[in-house]
Amino acid sequence: MTPACASARRARPLLGTFVEVAAYAAARPVVDAAIEEAFQALAEVHGLMSFHERPSDVSRLNREAADHPVPVHPLTYRVLEAALELHRRSAGVFDVGVAPAMEMLGLLPRDGGMEKPAETSAPGSESIELLPECRVRFRDPGIRIDLGGIAKGFAVDLAVATLRRRGIWQGLVNAGGDLAVFGPGLQTIHVRDPRDPSRLVCEVAVRGEALASTGGRFDPCRAARSGGLAVIDPRRRRPIDGIAGATVRAPSCLIADALTKVVVIAGESAITLLDHYDASALFVSRDGDVRVTSSWREAERRAA
Amino acid sequence: MSHWIRWTVPPAIIASLATPSIAMQYLSVEQAQKAVFPDATQFVIAHIVYTPAQVAAIEKQSGQKVRTRGEQVWRAQAGAQLLGFFIVDYVIGKHLVIDYAVGLLPDGRVKQVEIMEYRESYGGEVANRDWLAQFAGKTSRDRLAVDTDIRNISGATLSSQHVTEGVKRILAIYDTCLR
């Protein structure tokens, strides 16, 4: 028996990339309304957590939180809580406080205002203080945060929750490679080769899971090659070398997104953290060596 | 406790995965019109052909080169009431063509941006004029966006900068030609 089914797939430019939302439900109006609401959720996260937009929570924190506690949206607060937990559990490898180092290296634009010199000894996430009632204070005036390594994954999770709440029984949200699927069906994901985005490194079958990749940014309008990884090793305040890109599958996209950064920085030693979050990973070295965790294989078997 | 395994990709898989050309169709013109202006009862063609002065003004305001002779514009109306402007545009580059639709409110604010079609190709085809010819008149075809030939891609993050720039040019077109 085939249930009455309507589906749609849409894409919009959001979060600096193209975000795709696909949804299956019993009736067309349900699909359309749910997709619209999912995009609104994605746009809300974009508006709150963009490093580039002046009214965003992130921009306000970077301007004011060193001077006084700044109230933020509960969603921003939730992402910061998750970011600080990841910072703690990864022994400082995951750090949303590396914006000054990224600005110095030209990976992020500097804000227009006064310049605080970015020093290699700049403070990291440990100087972010989460206060009651969704207020945030920075203990160190030198810190600036960038949620780019985690907000996209969070936005995907939020969009998925929205779709489910609106009666979608199967779907996918893909924010430029950070994605989550839900529903009974098996969905195939093609993973680009981080050394050459015109090639694929593998296909992955996923069901009810999230998958995220880090492998540089690229614009096929201009070139076939991807730029370097926009990931900073917070301990050395320098871009990482050795690993060209990583893909992580995890129960949530926030975790998958954040852990890709840990894997490209920490390499094989990320395994304990991956296990803790029930995640598995694949990474590609610059020399073409591909490694997967044993849990990646298990996840593949489970999905199939 | 998990451990790491060296992964050797079978040569046959590598061959099949090389040089993908990724094509996604999301919306036809009619579908995009309904998606952006669901309350409209009619879309009245109001295509623009630029005068040289308009080209100069658009280029000055947007900081971008105008590469077309005009723009495909529809007035979205509920009866006689203007709900906004529906504009179909594209960005084209080395390995990529994107058709997208922009809905503007009557006062020129962006209501919605929808990607209609996305094509990525790595054989030099995008720059080839014959290959481009298939896009000529693309907007008059009522092509259904069906769930075939769809790929879910992860990996290097695709920049949407070029579409953001395209929307900026469309705002300049509004100021110059539609306001």
pLDDT of res. B147: 36
SS (H, E, C) A104-136: HCCCCCCCCCCCCCCCCCCCCHHHEEEECCCEE
Predicted local distance difference test score (pLDDT) of residue A45: 97
| Domain finish residue from A87, A113, A144 | A144
Portion 181-210 of A in contact with B at CB < 8 A = 181, 187-194, 197-204
Q: Are residues A227 and A279 in the same domain?
A: yes
Reading the block at residue B136, the tokens are 């000529």
- What's the CATH code of the domain at A98? 1.10.3980.10
The answer to whether residues A279 and A255 touch, using CB atoms and an 8 Å cutoff, is yes
Give burial (CB, 10 Å; 0-12/13-18/19+) of A166.
middle
A174/A205 same-domain check: no
**Co-location of A37 and A150 in the same domain:** yes
For position B104, what pLDDT does the model report?
96
pLDDT computed for residue A136 by the predictor: 97
Residue A233 near residue A240 (C-beta atoms within 8 A): yes
For residues A37 and A88, membership in a common domain is answered with no
- Say which of B118, B145, B159 has its CB closest to residue A218: B159
Q: What is the phi/psi pair of residue A42, to 5°? A: -65, -40
User: What per-residue confidence (pLDDT) applies to A16?
Assistant: 87
Number of structural domains chain A divides into? 3
**In this structure, are A80 and A192 located in the same domain?**
no
Please say whether the beta carbons of A110 and A103 come within 8 A. yes
Question: Cβ atoms within 10 A of the Cβ of A218, count?
Answer: 23
Q: Do A175 and A136 fall within a single domain?
A: no
pLDDT of residue B130: 40
Residues A80 and A171 in one domain: no
A65 and A210, same structural domain? Answer: no
Q: What residue has token string 């409209």?
A: B40
Candidates A139, A136, A117; CA nearest to A49 is A136
Greatest C-alpha distance within chain A: 66
Asked whether A128 and A97 are in contact (CB, 8 A), the reply is yes
Rounded Cα distance between B115 and B134, Å, is 18
Which helix H or strand E contains A197, and what residues bound it?
strand A196-206
* ipTM of model: 0.82
Q: How far is B33 from chain A (nearest CA, A)?
A: 13
**Structural Rg of chain A based on CA atoms:** 19
Give me the sign of the Cα torsion angle A176, A180, A183, A188: positive
Q: Which residues of chain B have pLDDT under 50?
A: 12, 15, 127-149
Cα A164 to Cα A170: distance, rounded to the nearest angstrom: 8
**Residue of B1, B157, B162 to mutate, interface with A, max A Cβ within 10 Å:** B157
Contact A13 B1 (CB under 8 A): no
In the β-sheet with A187-193, what is the strand arrangement from edge to edge?
A196-206, A187-193, B152-154
3-state secondary structure of A44: helix
pLDDT of residue B173: 95
- CA triple A104-A107-A108, angle to 5 deg: 80
Q: Which two tokens stand for residue B130?
A: 């014959």
List the structure tokens of B102.
């922009």
For residue B75, the cross-strand partners are B44, B85
Residues A232 and A304 in one domain: yes
Provide the residue-wise pLDDT of chain A in tens; the chain has 304 residues.
445 589 999 999 999 899 999 999 999 999 999 999 999 999 999 999 998 889 999 999 999 999 999 999 999 999 999 999 999 999 888 999 876 666 555 555 554 443 334 444 557 889 999 999 999 999 998 899 999 889 999 999 999 999 999 999 999 999 999 999 999 999 989 888 888 877 888 888 999 999 999 876 666 666 656 666 666 676 665 556 688 899 999 999 999 999 999 999 888 999 999 999 999 999 988 888 889 999 998 888 887 7
Q: Which pLDDT value is given to residue A192?
A: 86
Q: Are A221 and B162 in contact (CB under 8 A)?
A: yes
CA A107 to chain centroid, in Å, comes to: 16
CATH number at residue A223: 3.10.520.10
- From chain A, the residues in CB contact with B161 under 8 A are 16, 219
Angstroms from B24 CA to nearest CA on chain A: 10
Structure tokens at A59: 């921009």
Residues A65 and A40 in one domain: no
In the prediction, which pLDDT does A2 show?
46
Predicted pLDDT at A270: 93
Write down the residue that tokens 């694949």 correspond to: A282
Looking at the structure, do residues A218 and A303 belong to the same domain, yes or no? yes
Q: How would you classify residue A45: left for phi > 0, otherwise alpha for psi between -120 and 50, otherwise beta?
A: alpha
* DSSP3 helix / strand / coil % (chain A, rounded to 5): 35, 30, 35
Burial class (CB in 10 A: 0-12, 13-18, 19+), B175: middle
Domain residues for A115?
A: 57-144
**Structure pTM?**
0.87
Residues A193, A280 within the same domain = yes
DSSP lists the bridge partners of residue B5 as A292
CA nearest neighbour of B111 among B23, B35, B45: B35
- Closest alpha carbon within chain A to B148: A9
